Amino acid sequence: MENKVPHVLLLPFPAQGHINSMINLAQLLCLAGFHVTFLNTDHNHDRLLRFTDIQSRFSPWPGFRFRTISDGLPVGHPRSADRFMELVDSLRTHMKPLFREMLISNRRELDAVTFIVADGIMMFATDVADEVGIPILTFRTISACSFWSYFCIPGLAENGELPFPDGDMNGLIKGVPGMETFLRRRDLPSFLRVKELNIPSLQFIWTETQNTTRSAGLILNTFEDLESPILSQIRSHCPNIYTVGPLHALLKSKLSNNNNSSSSSSSLWKEDNTCMTWLDSKPPKSVIYVSFGSYATVTRDEMLEFWHGLVNSQKSFLWVIRPDSITGKGEEGQIPAELEEGTRKRGFLVEWAPQVEVLAHPAVAAFLTHSGWNSTVESVFAGVPMICWPFFADQQINSRFVSEVWRDGLDMKDLSCSRETVEKLVREVMEGKREELRTSSNKIAEFARQSVGVGGSSWNNLERLIEDIRSMSFPLH
């Protein structure tokens, strides 16, 4: 038995934030000596190969391999947030039978898959795993607090808190245990802002989250000191939880401990590293970093208001603007002269940036973010205060925890992104509340560093995860 090596298949939901976390976990499992298969969609794997050196990142581990599978969508499909359910429906219709056939064929191979880690919104994988007799763990790439709010949706519906009436968005929600004193209607995930409960996206998240209890355990990219009270609530329903975050930092810690420096980007966009040289030219804590992630979109009018606010704040700014992030572009070429001039003096625009490195740069003082979980936990680890402008899904609740629980940022949820509001909040985070926010941020960052160090909670939970995968792959009976 000692010579048997687990072969773990990882199945991420095909979106940047999910892939990032899953690839970091894949590399950690390689470091444990496991054989690992990373099952990516054809579309996203093509982008990985085009924009990264992902193959060389995993070259030290001959037991690692990429495999690809169709997501069922045509090549030109945008795969954007506003067409989320089209992707979901295609995955369930087209990917599920392909995944089943792949596993059945693989069982006849010498190095057969012995374990599956599937994204928590790919729960069809649990059906297939049960059918072919392979143990499975669920990996939710969102925060514990947002997962718990999803899990409580049935109770909210039963006690009449969903759907909520039009109007008072500041009414407190009482049906999410542990959040009764601060969770407002506006802080619930965006898909709960509905007048009926039979909306497909709501039903999908509701069902997928409840199905988490069917797997052998739940992996979360968080750490105990950040979300301990909410983790206690989740454990009453999902007792076997592995908190192994921040994963990007735990991976770096493990690589360092193993004298291995093989780590690189897993971005689906080409990173522009010239922004790092620009940051090198700036004084410490003088720049606000702006990025709305890999999925969120803004209208052209919103983009211009943010731009005016940043320029009017008189602060230096590094802004990531994806080519596909602006909807309703209209007159693309007509940028007001004052914005062009202000950007020449104090700004730097890129289509994509190496975010972890940017947040760690001494020049960065604050982060204007969409509050996606990867961005949030990366900012937490770097000790960088946030201004939160959540876009959809879990981001609404993440931003509430940033402002009201962890107190390491400001929440502009549901505020107009007018130039006046943007300027005011940028000045507030970099001047008015600077020391207060920095104190909170530094304290939480220290907890994060301890969690991923030798003997820390995330370090130990990863060790437990590795041993559990080993024992479930090769049960004694």
The sign of the dihedral angle between the CA atoms of 24, 25, 27, 32 is positive
Assess whether 166 carries a catalytic annotation: no
Query: For this structure, is 45 an active site residue?
Result: no
Q: Which residues pair with 284 in a beta bridge?
A: none
Cα–Cα distance measured from residue 94 to residue 72, given in angstroms and rounded to the nearest whole number: 5
Strands (E), 42-135: 64-69, 115-119
DSSP code string of 390-423: --STTHHHHHHIIIIIS-SEEE-TTS---HHHHH
SS3 228: helix
Please tell me the number of Cα atoms within 13 Å of 34 on its side-chain side.
30
Contact 30, 54 (CB under 8 A): no
* Separation between Cα atoms, residue 71 and residue 92, nearest integer Å: 9
Task: Identify whether the C-beta of residue 177 lies closer than 8 Å to the C-beta of residue 233.
Answer: yes
Name the amino acid, one letter, at 348: F
Say which amino acid occupies 206: W
The one-letter code for the residue type at 346 is: R
DSSP 8-state class, residue 76:
T
C-beta separation of 242 from 465 below 8 A: yes
The residue whose two tokens read 């995955």 is: 91
The Cα 454–Cα 257 span in angstroms is: 9
For residue 7 the two structure tokens come to 């072969």
Query: How many alpha carbons fall within 13 Å on the CB side of residue 258?
Result: 17
From the candidates 35, 71, 119, 187, give the one annotated as an active-site residue: 119
- Note whether 139 and 13 are within 8 A (CB): no
CA–CA distance, 377 with 226 (Å, rounded to integer) = 10
16: part of which helix (H) or strand (E)? helix 16-31
Cα separation, 156 vs 185, in Å, equals 11
What is the spatial distance between Cα 33 and Cα 207, in angstroms, rounded to a whole number?
35
From 18, 45, 248, 308, active-site residue: 18
Q: Which of 146, 140, 126 is nearest to 243 (CA)?
A: 140
Query: 442, 37, 462: which is closest to 253 by C-alpha?
Result: 462
CA distance 30 to 251: 11
**β-bridge partners, 92:** none
| Cβ-contact 271, 353 below 8 angstroms | yes
**Catalytic residue numbers, as ranges:** 18, 119
